[in-house]
Amino acid sequence: MQLLENYVGGRWMPGEGKETTLVNAVHGNPVAYSRSGGVDFNAILEYGRKTGGPALRKMTFHERGRMIKALALFLHDRKDKYYPISYQTGATKADSWVDIEGGIGNLFANASLRRRFPDLPYHVEGEAIASSKNGKFIGHHIMVPKQGIAIHINAFNFPIWGMLEKIAVNLLAGVPALVKPATVSSYVTEAIFRDIIASGILPVGAVQLLVGSAHGILDHVQSQDVVTFTGSASTGQQLKAHPRIISEAVPFNLEADSLNCSILGEDAKPGTEEFDLFIKEVRKEMTLKCGQRCTGIRRAIVPAHLLEDVQIALSKALAQTTIGDPQVEGVRMGALAGKTQVAEVRSQVEKLLKETNMVYGNLNEVTLIGANAEQGAFLSPMLLVNEHPLSSTLVHEVEAFGPVCTLMPYANLDEAIEIAKMGKGSLCSSIVTYDNEIAKQFVVGAASHHGRILVLNRECAKENTGHGSPLPLLTHGGPGRAGGGEEMGGMRGVLHYLQRCAIQGSPTTLTEITSIYQYGGQYKDPGVHPFRKYFEELTVGDTVITHKRTITESDIVAFANISWDHFYAHTDVTSLEGTTFTQRVAHGYFVLSMAAGLFVDPGKGPVLLNYGLEECRFTKPVYAGMTLGVRLTVKEKLPVDPKEEDVIHKGIVKFLVDVFDETGETVAIATILTMVQKRVSS
C-alpha cells in the first residue's frame, strides 16, 4: 500500500505520527495511507516566499504563460495514467474527464491569458489619469505580484481540477503556492503532482504539496499571502474568521457549496425542446460525480401546474441511471467519495424529509452493477418534492451534498425569483426558457444572489457547457452562502494575486515605469524612421514628426465619392444650421487615411502589415484650409509566440498616431497595430 508523501522545501518527504488509511470508494479496500505530522508550517511558507516567489517575479507574464502552457502539454501527454487512479474515488469516466482533462484545459485557458498582459513582470492597469491643467502631472495604476504565498485548501470532489484551476491563476500572477488537497482523495492529487515536479518546468519552490493535516498552518500566514478555500460554508467561515487572517488582513477567497437552483420557464411545457432540456440537465447534475459538485442543482423550481409532469419525466430519466463500479461497461453513476460522505448525505436528507416527500429513490437501498453496497460508498439518486417552498424553508437551508434534488412549484416568475433568492446566495443558477423576456426578467431579478446564470434553450443546447460547469475565463464564485469569493474569471482571477498601486509623476517618467508611452511625455529621436527598425530595435517613445498637408474642398468631395459616405455634414453645406459645424467638415476616416499617407515609410522594411486599429477619436472638426501633421510614436511592444511553420518571426507594435493642426492642437488620435519583423529568429 502506497505511503503518500508531502512535497515541501524542494523535496519529497513522508509525514510522521498518526496514520490515515484511504480506501477505494467502490470496493472499500485500502489504496494508500498518509501521516499527519512532522512538518514545519512556517518553514514551508517561508520556502515558498523566499525561493519560489523571487523566481516567478523575475519572469514576465508572457514567460509565465508559456511556462503554464508547457506544463499543460506535459500533463496532457500523460492524462491516460490518471484515469485508473481517479476511478478509485468512485468517479466514472465522464466524472474523471471533467476532473482530469477539465483541469488540464484550465491550464491551457489561463496560459492564453498572457496575451492580455504586458510582456513585463507586472501589469499596467487601465488608462492614465490626467492630474494637472497642462498634462505634465498624471496618475496611473500598476499591479505587482504579492510577495507572499498562495495557500490552497481544496475540496475532495475534484482532486485534480481543484488544484490546477487555482495554481494556473497564481502562477500566471507570479505567486508561488502550497496545495492542500482533501485527505480522502489526496492520492489522486499526489499522483499528478509527482509529474508536475518531475517535468522540471516550474521554478524551484513555485509549488508545494501537503497531503497530511494542515491544522495550524493559518497561524503562520502573513499580510502578503493569499488563502483560498473550497468546501463547506461552515468550515470556510471558521477559517475566514481565524485571528491571524484578520490581524494580517490576509485576502481569503471562499468558494463554498451552495443551494444552486434551476428554473423551468413558464413557456417550457411538455413536448417543447426546453422541457426536455430541463429534465436532461437536472438528471445530469444529480448523477454526475454522484451530485458531489459545489455547482450541482439542489433546487428545481417549476411552474405549479407542471410539477407533476416534471416529477414523472424526471423520475423516468433517473430510472435509466445505472449505478455501480465505474469501470464496468454501462455504469452511468459511481460511488460517493467514502462512507463518511454517504452518512453525511443521509443525515441531511433526513432533515429535508421533515418538510418534503421523497418521490424517487431510497435512502437505504440501491441496485448496483459490479459492486457491493456494504463495501462501497453508494447511494440511490433521490428526488424530493416541497409543495410549499415559501413557508417550508429547510430546503433553502440544508444541503445534501450528493445525488439529491428537491422539486418545488412557483405561481409566477416573480415568485420563482423570490424562491431562488431564498438560498441566500449561490455559485450558479440556470433558467430553461425560449422566451427572452422571461430570461431577461429572471437574470436581472436574480443576478444579485448568484455568481453565474445559464440561460438554456434550443439555440445553445448543442454547444452549452451546462449548469454546473464553471469556465476558466468566467467568474467562479458567488455571494452570501456561496462565500462571497471569486476564482478564475480570466484576468479577474489573476488580479486577486496582484497588489494594485497608484503611481504619480510626469508622463515621461511614467512612460519609463510602465513601458507604455504616456501622452504628453518626451519624444525620443529614433535616428531613422521607426518603420525601418526591427522589433528588437524599437524603443517605446521613438517618435517621427511628419511633414504637413493642407486640406482642400476637393479632398473632402473626392473622399465622399470614393468611400460612398455622403453624410450631410460632408456634402451639404445648406444643412449645417443648428449643428456644431460651421462649414463642410472632412470625414474622420479621411483625416486618418491622410495621416497614414504622411507617416508611412513606403519602402519595403521590417514592418510587415497593418494589424488593426483601436482607441480612435476625432477630437476637433477639420475644415478645408487647415494644415495637418502627424506625430507617430512607438506606444507599446507586444511579443508574438512563434509557430513551427513561421518563416518570419515577428511582434506587434502599437503606434500612437497624433494628428495635429497648424496651431499644434490634436484633431484626431488613434492607436494602430503593426506586425513588425524580428531581426533574430529565436
Which phi and psi (to 5°) does residue 128 adopt?
-65, 150
**Residue with cell string 475565463:** 473
* Distances in whole angstroms, Cα of residue 588 to Cα of each of 159, 289, 564, 575, 670: 56, 58, 14, 19, 11
Cα distance between residue 303 and residue 294, in whole Å: 25
DSSP lists the bridge partners of residue 85 as: none
Q: Which sign, positive or negative, has the C-alpha torsion 255, 21, 151, 219?
A: positive
255 is catalytic: yes
Task: Write the CB contacts of 155 (distance below 8 Å, at least 6 apart in sequence).
Answer: 162, 182, 230, 231, 294
| DSSP code, position 561 | H
Pairing of strands 252-256, 226-231: parallel
DSSP lists the bridge partners of residue 476 as: 487
* Residue of 304, 303, 297, 311 lying closest to 423 (CA atoms): 297
294 is catalytic: yes
Cα distance between residue 357 and residue 523, in whole Å: 76
Which phi and psi (to 5°) does residue 417 adopt?
-65, -45
Which phi and psi (to 5°) does residue 669 adopt?
-145, 140
The cell numbers describing 4, all together, are 503518500
Q: How many residues are given for the chain?
A: 682
Catalytic residue among 5, 165, 190, 255: 255
Cα distance between residue 11 and residue 560, in whole Å: 71
Cα distance between residue 86 and residue 541, in whole Å: 54
Catalytic residue among 294, 405, 486, 487: 294
Which active-site residues does the annotation give?
A: 255, 294
